Structure formats: structure tokens, C-alpha cells
Structure 1
Amino acid sequence: MKRRSLVGGIAAAAAAAATPGTASPRRIGMSDVNRLNRRFAEIVANDHRHGGQPRIEEQATALANEALNLQNSGSATQRVRNSLYASGAAFRSSAMWAAIDGRRYEAAKAHMREAQALAEMSGDQAIKFRIWSHAGTMYRHMGRPADAIAANDVARNLHLTRRDPLFACLGHARHAATLGVTGDATAVKHALGCARDAFERADPDLPRPAWMSGVRNGAEFETLALSAYLRVGNFEQAESHAHRSLTLLPPQVQRDRAINTARLAQAQLGQGAPDAATATAMSVPADAATQHARVALMLRDFGTTLRTSVPGSSAVEAWSEHTASWRVTT
């Protein structure tokens, strides 16, 4: 009789566990957060390879929603809840960046608002920095330097930049890129000097988010210096930073390599070397040249400047033939 009662009790407990709404709430832990962080690293890696593709934006948005759904799927400590909000903000910031990189600015602004709200709930300074820094880049690309400077200032004034000079380095370097849009060469030089000083003070061994890898080895500084000097017409300095950036970028960072190669071509053309510039521009892979919005725009601008500066030249003829092959194969 006791055995029958025990078996019946186990069966009843199993049935209760299988019934929706009656089971004990699931315990959400740091293992769930760590799983999301691994997915975030995959999103960052895909961005480095391919840049602003809609599918990266969609994947990042779906993972942000997954992080938020976990909040409501069980019990968790405050630390875990804050980490989930930070994960949601990180994924939204990647969706924002993919939209910026693809020049889909209305979508980027919507992702920014979601990311900012989640970052505030998380209290995570690093992700706040990323979002506001991306906002500065977005406004810079939109031709709104005053808004870009204001957004960059929010990022640069976070106390994180005083704790970790590597974040200060990135803040100053992105500020320099925005100042390049204003044409203020003196301010650009000063901001890049501040970035360089911060980089030299930074401890390379501190743990940092996956998206800071390019800052850690100096590639991002060189990329932003290239952009800033190109904007103010200092083509010799721009070329120098272009070569350094291309040396520091790992092979898998294909998007930045294509962008910086296109910028190098612009810097060479600005120095009166159309043949070298054209050869450089022609080295940009066809898939990046035709499928990445920013690279395609840079190369269109390059072609326009080339035809204006040396009309009827062999460089123009070579470039025209090269771009015609893109139209045939894409």
C-alpha cells in the first residue's frame, strides 16, 4: 500500500511538472548569460567579415529578443538580470552598427533607442560607451557633425574612460574622425595625440569586450586616423595610417580591410598618383565593392574624382574596364 502511494505520488509530481503554468519557475543563471555572450562574439566576428548586411542586423535583433525573453522565463539574481539586459543592449548595438554600416539610418536610430534603454537598465558602462560611440559614428556618416560630437562626448565622459585608457583612446580617435568632417586640421591632430597618449597608458592585459579587439592592437586607432586625415586633405598622413592599419588588421576583418584599401586609393589619388591609386582601388574584392554600401559609395566617389582629375587617362580606362566586370559578374 505504501509502495503504491509512493509510485502514485511520483506520477502526480511528474504530471504536474509537465503541465504548463504549474511547474516551478526555471532558474536563470550565468551559464545562460555566457551562452549569449558566445553568440555575441559570433555576431562581432560576422560583422568583421561581412559588415552591414541585413541578415546580421536580423540575427542580432533576434538574439536581443532572446535575452529579454529569458528575463521572463524564470527566477534570477539581480546580477544575472543586469547581465541579461547588458546582453540585450549589446545585441541591439550590433544591430544598430550593422544598419549604420549598411547606410540604413532610420533602422539604426530605432535600434539605438532600444539599445540605450536596455543599457540604462543594465548599468553596464562598456555597452553604454559602445552605443553612444556608435551614435557618434552614425551622425558623422549622416553629415551631422554637431550631433556626432555631442554623442561622442557622452561616450568620452563616462567614468569608464578614466578607469581604462583604452576606452579613452577609442573615444578620442572617434572624436578626431568627426572633427575631420568639420575640416579642423588642428583639432584633428590634437584629438589623435590624446588618443595616442591614452593608448600608450592602457594595460593590454585587462579583460575587455570582444568588440574592443581592434582597439587593443591599435588597428582601430589607425583606421580612425586615416579617416580623419583624409577628411582634412592631409593625404600623405592618411596614406601612412592606411598602410599601418592594413598591417594591423587580421585577415578575417574583411570589411575594414576593404574600407581602408578604398581610403588608401583616395589618399594616393589626392597626392597625384592616379595609376597607383587605381591599382589600389582595383585590389578591393568585388564582393565588398558591390555588396557593401559604404565600400561601394567610396569607390563610386573614387571613380568620379579619378575621371575629373585625369580625364581620358590610362588610369580612367583601366578603372572603367574593371568596374564593367563587376556589372557582368554581379
Structure 2
Amino acid sequence: METTRNEALEAWMREHKYSANSLAKAVNAGLEALTGKPGTYDGRHIREWRAGRVRWPNTATRKVLADLSGRSPVDLGFVPRSRNSRTAVPQEDPMHRRTLVTGTVSIAVAAAAPGAVSTRKVGMSDVARLQEKFSAVIASDHKRGGQRDIEQRAAGLADTALNLQNSGSATQRVRSSLYATAASFRSSAMWAAIDGRRFKDAVTHMREAQALAELSGDQAIKFRIWSHAGTLYRHMGRPADARAANDVARNLHITRRDPMFASLGLARHMAIQGAAHEQRNLPRTFDHAREAMDRADPVASRPVWLLAFYDEAELHSLALSAYLAAGDWATAEYHAHRCLAALRPYMERSRAITTSRLAQAQLAQGDVDTATDTAMTVKAEAATQHPRVSRMLQEFGAALRAMAPGSSSAITWTEHTAAWRTHP
């Protein structure tokens, strides 16, 4: 039988900037979320789909593709095993519709088949299984943050949470929890995009996360999303917008109920002050953030995303960012050392970022040899694969060559970075 290229799938992949390999990874992540077992697709399988040699993937794969794209398998160009191929769409393949929420933000919501009656009851156990996946996303972020596959996995799991809304009956508590879980995944996709400096994608994730958070009514996830929005705008060089977004987070009543949230809001406010060159305000804001942290109940129940990263090390990390942006190199170096001393062992991404900033602070003070030695301790994997770390070390190298051209440190650094080109 003659095959016809799947032009609809090719067009969708081009529109959403998927390569064959990246789509395979996204489908594998969706299959793991759906079935509990990782998928085994690779780029070759996706090319088979595009070429039309695979006309109708299996049931689970079709469901994942529908969740991922917001389109039915037929709309993606696949042909059911039926003579009436354009009308025979199996009821088991949910079609996601786009619906406007809060005026301008659209979120993917799975629509149940017309007239279908579901007897399944969705419960908190379903939510708990998704939240276990969320913990894995958080762990991946701390190990190798900023990667596109983390972003895609988190976004796919957000769609999975939404799809559960229409898979059966549920109480209002369960529905709110599902929206909160979807918002959590979407905010992790947003953070991965921020960390990878894919700001346009981050804005898209932010808008959908904000809408989902409103549907959930969950104060903690609202705080996370607006606080991340402040960080996004700070990295985009828009301190006024960063302050406004972070203020939304800081004004939520959860910051009055739990001083730990108030402390994080203040710490990120400090980083925004540094970006705005408000150096004289930094010591007071740091003290207020630390005082709030000291008041917080150490055994209080908090979201996994907060427990996983916010502590004394992160407070010093944000102070380091603030003083580095404000040009106070000596104080920035002090906070870098305090951060590195307090970092938990699994915070590999944070260690690479802090070490890169420490090298910048040391170089700015004229300590060329020490700064070079510090920069060389950043692992090659982070230096070559993490966009923020790569950019900081490129800036470090340019500043080193400008400050000490032809020096032994500059030569050593050039030779050291040349070896990265062979790193897999």
C-alpha cells in the first residue's frame, strides 16, 4: 500500500519547534506519567510517523499525543484502521480544547466525549500519584536545571493532571487539588524555561500556570508562580515588572500565615533591588528575610518545592545575586562563600551557578589567579549544558582576557575551556 507523508504532524512539529528526538522524549515522558513505565520511542520512530509508514500508533501513544498537542490523532494526520478514516475517531482518544480563562490566558482542558457516561471516580490517590511525579521533576531540576526535556516533561504532566478532570467524577477537593497539581507542573516548566533562558516559552508557561492556580485557589502555588514571574522579569532586565510580580506573591495571605514564604519573598525582593542598583537597601532586606526565616516553624507542613530548595544557602545565593548586580564585589564574595558552605549535596545546579558568580566577584576585585582557579572548579557538564552557567563563564573569560591579556591565568583558562569542546 502506498504511503503518504503525514504533513499535519510535520506542520505541528514545526510550529511547536519539535525535532524528532525532542518529540520522542516528550512522548516517552507522557507514557511514563500515564502508565508508570517509560516509553521507548526515539527519533527514528517519529520519522516513521512523519513519513506515513506508521499510520495509527497504539492507544496509549495516541492518548499522550492528544494530551501533548491539544489535538485529536486524526487532526495530527494519523489514519484510523477504518475505511471511513476521517470520521471514525475512537471514543478513547480525548480531544483537548482550548478555552480562555481569566480573559486572556488559554489552558488545555480535556473534553469528555459527548454523551459518554463515566463510572470512574477520581480520588486523592490519583492526585498523590501525580505528586510523586512532581517530586521527580523537582529533583531533576536541582541536578541539571534549565534543560528542555525537564520543561517538556513538566508541561506534559500538567496536561495529564488536567485530563484527569474529565476522566470521571470527583469531589470539589479533588478537582481543586488537580488544578493545583497542574499549576505546579506548569510552574516547573516555567522555571526550567527561565533557567534555560528561553524567556518567550517561560512567559507562555507563566500565563497558563497563573490561570490554573486561580482555578485551584491554592495560595502556595499562587505564591510560587508570581515569585517565579518576578525572577523571570529580573532575568529579562525588567526590574519594575519584577518588583510588581514579586509584590503580588508577597501580599498573599500565606506570607502572614507562614514566615518562610515571607522570607523567600523578601529574599527575591533583595535580588530585584540589586538589579535596580538599590545597594543601600540590601542589608536591611537581607536582615528582614533572615528574621522571617528564624521565626518560621521548622516542622510546619510545606510544599515539596519549597522544602527542596529554600534554606540559608538560598538566602545567601539571592544576596550574592543582589550584591553582584549592584557592584559590591567584596560583599558578593562573602555571600558566595556562605552559600557554598551551606548548600545541600544534591544542589548541583546551584553549586555551579554560585561558583561561577564567586569567580566573577573575585575577578572584579582584581584577584585574577584565585578567580581563575575558582572558575575551573565548575564541572564541564554544567559549563557546557546549563545555559546560565555557560553564559556566566563566557562573560568571565571575556573579562579575564580584558583585565589580564596574555597572563598565565588567561592562557590556562583558554586551554581549560578548549577541553570542553570535546565533552559529550
Q: Give the TM-score, by structure 1 length.
A: 0.92
**What CA distance in whole angstroms lies between the structure 2 residues aligned with 1:308 and 1:155?**
41
Deviations 1:145-194 (A, max 9, x none): 11101101101111110111100110011011011111111122222121
1:181 maps to 2:275:
yes
Matched, 1:101 2:195: yes
Secondary structure of 1:62's partner?
helix
Find out whether 1:60 has 2:148 as its counterpart. no
Match of 2:28 in 1: none
- Which of these residues, 223, 234, 246, is aligned with residue 340 of structure 2? 246
C-alpha offsets along residues 260-314 of structure 1, whole Å, 9 cap, x if unaligned? 0101111111222111110110110011001110000000111111111122211
Shift of 1:214: 4.8
From 118, 143, 148, the equivalent of 2:212 is 118
Q: 2:314 aligns with which of 208, 217, 220?
A: 220
1:215, distance to aligned residue in structure 2 (A):
5.0
Does structure 1 residue 129 correspond to structure 2 residue 229? Answer: no
Q: Which residue of 2 aligns with 1:320?
A: 414
Q: CA deviation at 1:136?
A: 0.5
Show the 5 A alignment for 1:51-90: 51-90=145-184
Measure the CA separation in 2 of the matches of 1:215 and 1:203. Answer: 16
What SS class does the counterpart of residue 378 from structure 2 fall into? coil
- Distance, in Å, in 1 between the alignment partners of 2:223 and 2:239 is 18
Partner of 1:145: 239
Aligned equivalents of 1:275 and 1:62: distance in 2?
46
Q: Identify the range of structure 1 (19-28 vs 261-270) with the bigger mean alpha-carbon deviation.
A: 19-28
- Alignment match of 2:253 (pick from 153, 159, 167): 159
Residue of structure 2 in register with 1:14 after alignment: none
Structure-2 separation of matches of 1:105 and 1:24: 40
1 or 2, which has the higher helix percentage? 1
Matched, 1:301 2:398: no
Distance 2:417 2:241 in 1: 35
Say whether the 8 Å CA contact 2:118–2:167 is kept in structure 1: no
State whether residues 227 and 246 of structure 2, in contact with CA within 8 Å, keep that contact through their aligned partners in structure 1.
yes
CA distance in 2, matches of 1:37, 1:53: 21
SS at match of 2:320: helix
Tell me the distance in 1 between the aligned counterparts of 2:308 and 2:291.
17
Identity of aligned residues (%): 62
TM (norm. structure 2) is 0.72
- Contact conserved, 2:146 with 2:195, CA < 8 A, in 1? yes
Q: In 2, Cα distance between the equivalents of 1:306 and 1:284?
A: 16
Cα distance in 2 for residues equivalent to 1:78 and 1:114:
21
Contact 2:381–2:423 (8 Å) recurs in 1: no
Counterpart CA distance in 2 for 1:24 and 1:132 is 36
> Do the aligned residues in 2 keep the contact of 1:25 with 1:73 (CA within 8 Å)?
no
Distance, in Å, in 2 between the alignment partners of 1:273 and 1:79 is 57
SS in 2 for 1:74: coil
Mapped to 2, the partners of 1:292 and 1:286 lie a distance apart of 10
Q: Which runs of 5+ in 1 are unaligned?
A: 1-18
Counterpart for residue 13 of structure 1 = none
Q: Give, in angstroms, the shift of residue 217 of structure 1.
A: 3.0
Q: 2: CA distance between counterparts of 1:279 and 1:318?
A: 9
5+ residue gaps, structure 2: 1-90, 93-114
